[in-house]
Amino acid sequence: MTESPDGSARVPSRDRRRFPGISSRSYEHPADRSALVALRKLSGFDTVFKTLSGLLPERSLRLLFLSDSVRVSDQQFSHLNDMLRDACYILDLEKVPPMYVNQDPQPNAMCIGLDEPIIVVTTGLVELLDEEEMRAVVGHEVGHALSGHAVYRTILLFLTNLAMKVAWIPLGNVAIMAIVTALREWFRKSELSADRAGLLVGQDLQASMRGLMKLAGGNHLHEMNVDAFLKQADEYESGGDLRDSVLKILNLLPRSHPFTTVRAAELKKWAASRDYQRIMDGHYPRRDEDKDASVSDSFRDSAAHYAESVRNSKDPLMGLVRDIAGGAGDLGGKLRDTVFGGGSRGGQGGANGTDRTNGSEA
């Protein structure tokens, strides 16, 4: 239960389910959860790096936001303060993290910090979203705080920056790129986890969808449609040929967040799942059970998720992977068709004399 400065209890502004003692494991994406469970099992891991926090810019960032941003409170951005308290109440986060509004036209939000998390939202985001959409974003950032993403992200970014300084070592660049690629893959999965936390807080799937659409297309809801937006995600996954699959990977590698249409599709899928319904019914892992969580079970769940993703993916590259794994007979023909987007061979058309390219562009 969170409290206002006068000691009175604060409750959500409308009736929402609350999740006492909820563990972040209940909403974390399998790949995110396996990494976090493993890190939590390393006794003293984050304590050591908190001791080294003087090497990190965290103290400087705190002073910067304190001096050059607006701290959310009952006196400043009080509606955001109410949302923040509501989110902490619903997810049972006892200590409400400080929250700042920073002047920046780019819509963005983040949760950082080692000793304690800080939430920062930009004016561009505040001006873009309505109340329920913003509530989902605040819940997203509180989800980061509850998962410990702020701690582990800061630690891993520190390790990455440290490793970059020794990139002159032979093969150092190869090793660094492997680390950076792995980190970004985890970052992207942690964003999917936080989107789920935002839904648990807002408990309004349409608001979450609208917020993601606005991040992609701006404040023009009258020009956008959720179903059409989700169709883009399906077209993105299934369209094109092997060349497009490679371009998708190259486009995604430098990003810390998944693409917005993909986030919307993933969240809608989770909202329709049995896992989400069980949480809403009050059946979820408790925080006091985190210490007993199995690392091997978490990694098995993560591996199973990726295997299922390959099995169910409509992406041409994943289809080729399935064919190879299944020992496809005409592998050469399948590879040729996948690369060139259909059955066109040797410049010949299909049975009716037309060129069959499976809908892909030349």
Sign of the C-alpha dihedral computed for residues 84, 89, 93 and 94 taken in this order: positive
- Other Cβ atoms less than 10 A from the Cβ of 321: the count is 14
Query: Most distant CA pair in the chain: distance in Å?
Result: 80
CA distance 346 to 51: 65
Burial of 305 (0-12, 13-18, 19+ CB in 10 A): middle
Amino acid at 174: V
If phi > 0 it is left, if psi is from -120 to 50 it is alpha, else beta; for residue 218 that is left
Residue 109: phi and psi, rounded to 5, are -155, 150
Matching residue, tokens 């308290």: 85
CA distance 150 to 132: 24
Contact (Cβ atoms closer than 8 angstroms) between residue 53 and residue 313: no
Across the beta sheet with 109-112, the strand order is 70-71, 99-102, 118-122, 109-112
Nearest to 99 by CA among 79, 81, 78: 81
Residue 292: phi and psi, rounded to 5, are -95, 0
Contact (Cβ atoms closer than 8 angstroms) between residue 194 and residue 149: yes
What's the angle, vertex CA 215, arms to CA 230 and CA 259, rounded to 5? 55
CA distance 316 to 299: 27
Sign of the C-alpha dihedral computed for residues 45, 47, 53 and 58 taken in this order: positive
CA distance 105 to 219: 13
Say whether 289 is catalytic: no
Which one from 133, 141, 191, 266 is the annotated catalytic residue?
141
Catalytic residue list = 141
